[in-house]
Amino acid sequence: MSVASPAPVVAASAPATSTTPPPRTWAFINRRTGRPQSVVCLDGCTINHSREQGREVFPEDVWCWTWAEPMTLPVNENGIPEEMAVLSTVIKVEPFSPTISQRLPYAVVELVEDQFIENLDPDGYETLIRTLSDRLDQMRETHRRLVEVRAAYMGRSASAV
């Protein structure tokens, strides 16, 4: 075992229930050793691994993830609003990564299209959620003030006419 060909970290998992299909198991040919190497997918993995199965692959290029339903909002980047992904989250694992922390599942959050916060362990992800929650509280307060300011402004505008 070396950094170039590390052993995957295997975490204990809960037993599969009758509604949860067992994780997929497949193999690829380790491009460095020429030997078959087995992979057990992350529960709920949404990647089609057919391009890697039975083929020569660098182990660090193997990963699994679960993809959440995308959410988009109209973002005005160049004067014309266009729908862009916001706050999309995947759970990802790279079982043969040279970065040890990536050998266990972690979260990747796409704040807005192509802008990511990566490598979030459960504590880091909770911190992000709490930070966004605090920002939502501030946005709700701004909304309340907007309603008040707008009503006052419209009242002055109506009485000025």
Contact yes or no for 91/110 (Cβ under 8 A): no
Strand, coil or helix: 88? strand
* The pTM of the whole model exceeds 0.85: no
> What tokens does 91 get?
């759970």
Answer yes or no: are the C-beta atoms of 132 and 107 closer than 8 Å. no
- 78 in any annotated domain: no
Evaluate whether residue 137 is within a structural domain: yes
Q: Are 3 and 10 in contact (CB under 8 A)?
A: no
Report if residue 135 sits inside a domain.
Answer: yes
Structural domain boundaries enclosing 158: 121-161
Number of domains in the chain: 1
Q: Is residue 100 included in any domain, yes or no?
A: no
Q: Residue 44 domain-assigned?
A: no
147 located within any domain: yes
Q: Is residue 64 part of a domain?
A: no
Express each pLDDT in 68-111 by its tens digit: 888 999 999 889 999 999 999 999 999 999 999 999 999 999 99
Asked whether residue 40 is assigned to any structural domain, the reply reads no
